Amino acid sequence: MATVLYITANPNDHETSYSLAIGKEFVQAYLSANPNDEVIHLDLYQMNIPELDADVFSGWGKLGAGAVFDALTGAEKAKIGRLGELVDQFVAADKYIFVNPIWNYSFPPVMKAYIDSICVAGKTFKYVPGEGRVGLLRDKKAVHIQASGSVLSPGSALADFEMGHRHLNAIMAFFEVPSFEGIFVEGMAADPNQASAIKEKAVRKAREVASGF
């Protein structure tokens, strides 16, 4: 049995959100093909995800200098403890489904906060003398479902402006996740008359990818 994290960064629901609508189709198709797997929904808008702030860096500095965890301030312990929970949950999972809209050419800030929480040396990557950075998630799989009003996917005229999928792709490469695929529902604002057709095309793609994920 595999554990799958369904990670969503959208304050709306699947009735009004294209990304969540496609995400729901993906999960349903995945569970149909893998009924014994566990899918855990992480709604990032409903979670406690500490930002990397002065408390976090101060606490990390103390720990790096040899202090014990109990010697940290209350704020440092709460934030660093929570960040540890998030990265441990991420590492323990087998597969990841990231879902988000594009806002101003990137994903919502809460997705960046989550990414920061899982970029932890010794957990998702490490540094090896003479070799540099080595990813530690070489046995994982990931898929990214992204919605945008404009067409921003690789190969499009505006692809260079897109900072959501490209950012996540870089992070997965950083962790050395060997399988990462993008599913894009895009262009609804550019061509509203084709919105339904665009969504149906993305649904078909999601079901196809889910069956082999």
Q: Which residues are documented as binding site?
A: 17-19
Binding residues for FMN: 17-19
| Neighbour tally for 114: CB within 10 Å | 21
Separation between Cα atoms, residue 135 and residue 168, nearest integer Å: 14
Q: What angle do CA 163, 44, 29 make, to 5 degrees?
A: 85
Strands 95-101 and 141-148: parallel
Report the DSSP beta bridge partners of residue 42. 7
Q: Are 20 and 53 in contact (CB under 8 A)?
A: no
Name the nearest CA neighbour of 2 among 38, 35, 40.
Answer: 38
Q: Are 88 and 5 in contact (CB under 8 A)?
A: no
Q: What token pair was written down for 168?
A: 């996540």
Q: What are phi and psi of 178, to 5 degrees?
A: -75, -20
Q: What token pair was written down for 172?
A: 């997965």
| Neighbour tally for 85: CB within 10 Å | 12
Q: Within 94-145, where are the H helices? A: 109-118
